[in-house]
Chain A
Amino acid sequence: MQRIAALALAAAAGAPCALAQDAKTEIEKYQQMIADSSPVELFELQGETLWSKRQGPKDASLEQCDLGLGAGVLKGAYAQLPRYFRDEATKRVFGNEDRPSEMEYLSAYIAAQSRGAPMAPGTAHPKEAAAYELGRKLFFYRAGPWDFSCASCHGEPGKRIRMQELPVLSSRAGAGPVVATWPAYRVSNSQFKTMQWRINDCYRQMRMPEPTYASDLTIALATYLTVTGKGDPYRGPGTKR
């Protein structure tokens, strides 16, 4: 019985695979082309303007903010996130599909200052270890009307949705290039988006209700993904389909 199945397979395997291979090459070419002609730099520029703009009741800019490497040190700071901060000042709401915020532009500028720096998120603090552990559980937890977990789509190598290849996000090889290229210009809606937004969009596609921005849940998932994929040099902000 097994052998019959295997024979049938061999007979059917010819032409469609060749077609799929061509399509794959063409799609890679398309992805290269959109990266080459991406307006992503504009968002870095807008973020840079915001970073140095004096505003608010204190007429202050963000230029002396401490992102973990000391006041005003931006170079390489993004590559060391997520990490545990004692204050809660970072719990700000990001934009969404209908209402983009300035936070995305800031993230573009800040992330760009880590180009070339290896991704090295925090792992030493107990809160960081706990966030990783929670993120790992959330990744594999099946729920919702379609019984999906993150691993339903991102759990096995060589799979795709439509023509979109699916990285195995529980592996170093799968998560590395992903965490090293967000935030990114997203071609489908022509907006600049954070990885947090992307994680939320997976919840939408899993038919679940919406994770709250900057909640422990989204931070835990981002921590799990970034720690899993750590080590790749940061090469964003990227351009994504």
Chain B
Amino acid sequence: MAEPMKIRATLKGDLAEVRVLMVHPMETGQRKDAEGRLVPAHFIQEVSVRLNGRSVLEGQISQAVSRNPVFSFRLKGVKAGDKLEIAWLDSKGERSQAEAAIA
């Protein structure tokens, strides 16, 4: 099952509070499984946010971000209907992206 990403944007005036939920194990490479074997590192490294096609936020993150990451950002000067695109890239080269309209 492809893992969804969930974007939620609250608009107050022209300021949008954007909350993104991602499904990802964010393995540190230091955790052991039930059999005592090290689980290899596997984590999101880059997060990108675009507003109406233009990059507004670029993030680089480490394995110390919690499993199933939750980010909040704020965008100003936005209006209802603006298009938001959020993408991530992880340490295995896997990608995910989602888009939403600001409501």
Direct contact of A and B (CB under 8 A): yes
The interface of chain A, by Cβ under 8 A from chain B, is 37-39, 41-42, 45-46, 49, 97-98, 190
**Interface SS majority for chain B:** loop
Tally the A-B contacts, defined by beta carbons under 8 Å: 30
Which residue of B is nearest A189, CB measured?
B67
B6 contacts A98, C-beta separation under 8 Å: no
Which residue of A is nearest B20, CB measured?
A39
The interface of chain B, by Cβ under 8 A from chain A, is 1, 3-4, 6, 21-23, 33-34, 66-70, 72
A41 contacts B34, C-beta separation under 8 Å: no
Chain B residues positioned under 8 Å from A190 (CB to CB): 66-68
Least Cβ–Cβ distance between B100 and chain A, in angstroms: 13
Least Cβ–Cβ distance between A14 and chain B, in angstroms: 38
B67 contacts A41, C-beta separation under 8 Å: no
Least Cβ–Cβ distance between A135 and chain B, in angstroms: 30
Chain A residues positioned under 8 Å from B70 (CB to CB): 37-39
A45 contacts B4, C-beta separation under 8 Å: yes
Which residue of B is nearest A187, CB measured?
B66
The 3 lowest CB-CB distance pairs between A and B, nearest first, are A190-B67, A39-B68, A39-B21
B1 contacts A42, C-beta separation under 8 Å: no
* Interchain CB contact (< 8 A) of B4 among A38, A49, A98: A49
A98 contacts B68, C-beta separation under 8 Å: no
A42 contacts B33, C-beta separation under 8 Å: no
Chain B residues positioned under 8 Å from A37 (CB to CB): 70, 72
A42 contacts B23, C-beta separation under 8 Å: yes
